[in-house]
Amino acid sequence: MRVLLIDDEKLALDMLEVLLNKMDGMEIVGKYQNPEHALENLNRLKVDVIFLDMDMGGVHGIKFARKLVGEYSHIIIIFVTAHPQFALDAFDVDAIDYLLKPVSITRLSKAIAKAKDRLKVIKLYDNSEIVQTSESLYAYTMSNFRLKDYKQNVIKWRTKKVKELFVFLWHNRDIPIHKARIIEELWPNTDADKAMVLLHTTVYQLRKALKKNGIEKPVALLNDQYVLSVPLTSDIHELEELIQSEKVLPENVERVLELYSGDYLEEEGYSWATQHQLFLRQSFISYLDQFISDSMKNQVNHQLVEASLEKMLQLDIYNETFMQKLLKHYGETNNYKKLQIFFEKVKNQFVGELGIDVPKELKDIFTNYYYKLKPLNS
């Protein structure tokens, strides 16, 4: 396994090198304190795995990882950091593990084992052992899950569990998943022997369903771990790419609003998807919030600002900050009628539904714009 180490602290690099040299099959092909210098040399180094620090002076590990994934999607990333708070962000850029300093040899061994499993999957693709159709399937994941073939026909599943197994394996993005974990997530209250039979039957039915669409070996089994190998594009891939982009452009905001028809797998009720569902929702709201702040400051994109605020309130109907911004938007754009209609809706939510008075901040914003705009509309 060809390994590259990136950390702005030389001591941390040296300590990690010592640990890795105690393991079989490790070839350290480079150590860099400057991540950009590492990036310049990746082509010639032929790296399998990069151990990456999170805080590298002026370079943030997540941003650098996104750049890596964009240019070298085959390289496996393992974060080694003193900052636990970025763990969710790390897995969002497809890192396979997140190690906290100081790293123990036991914990490092587990990360290496994961990397080896991922490399086996990559080699399966490279050796063409998994035969794929040239046509790609498309998955709709926002709100509910639908899978369409290249002719736009919706793929039908024999049972709900066959569908869930497909979504679960795909959700984990080419990472081999052990049989025990699949059983724990899909058949949590089932006798172990019966659950194993159900798993094997469901895998068989999944392979059969996908074979009808020209995919000969859609599910590979490696050391009691299953991995899905299907040519697939999806709405969530496009959505994540847009909301992770550094520039928030109006045309991208329009597309993001179109894509986010509901929360990720919301209607499916998969408990294992909840964490990513909440993360994606927050990322989406933060993306819109940035666009709204910039647009309101520069007094541009009024219709798109309104659509964005309305979408945010659909997702969080009692969020007072979003209500305040929408009231201000109507006031600043001199929309007297919508200002009144929206405030009546707010009153109904607080007084009619919750049985409490409208918060003072909302009343003050409404009153200020109401009397300012009233002469214009009298």
* CA pair distance 305, 308, nearest whole angstrom: 5
Can you give the pLDDT at residue 157? 93
Helices (H), the chain: 10-20, 35-45, 61-71, 87-92, 105-126, 160-171, 179-186, 192-211, 235-243, 250-259, 274-298, 302-315, 320-332, 336-347, 360-377
**What is the separation, in whole angstroms, between the first and last Cα of the chain?**
76
Question: Cis (ω within 30 of 0) for the bond into 375?
Answer: no
For 287, other C-beta atoms within 10 Å of its C-beta total 21
Phi-psi region of 154 (alpha: psi -120 to 50; beta: other; left: phi over 0): beta
Q: State CA 275 to chain mean position distance.
A: 10
Angle between helix 336-347 and helix 360-377 axes, rounded to 10 deg: 150
Can you give the pLDDT at residue 245? 84
Can you give the pLDDT at residue 124? 57
Give me the residues of the chain with pLDDT under 70, please: 70, 91-92, 121-135, 375-378
What predicted TM-score, i.e. pTM, was given to this entire model?
Answer: 0.66
Q: Is 228 in contact with 219 (CB distance < 8 Å)? A: yes
Q: What is the DSSP letter of 349?
A: I
Q: What is the DSSP letter of 348?
A: I
* CA pair distance 299, 292, nearest whole angstrom: 10
Can you give the pLDDT at residue 378? 54
Q: Which of 251, 319, 332 is nearest to 285 (CA)?
A: 319
Can you give the pLDDT at residue 55? 85
Q: Which of 197, 160, 199 is nearest to 183 (CA)?
A: 199
Can you give the pLDDT at residue 277? 95
For 218, other C-beta atoms within 10 Å of its C-beta total 25
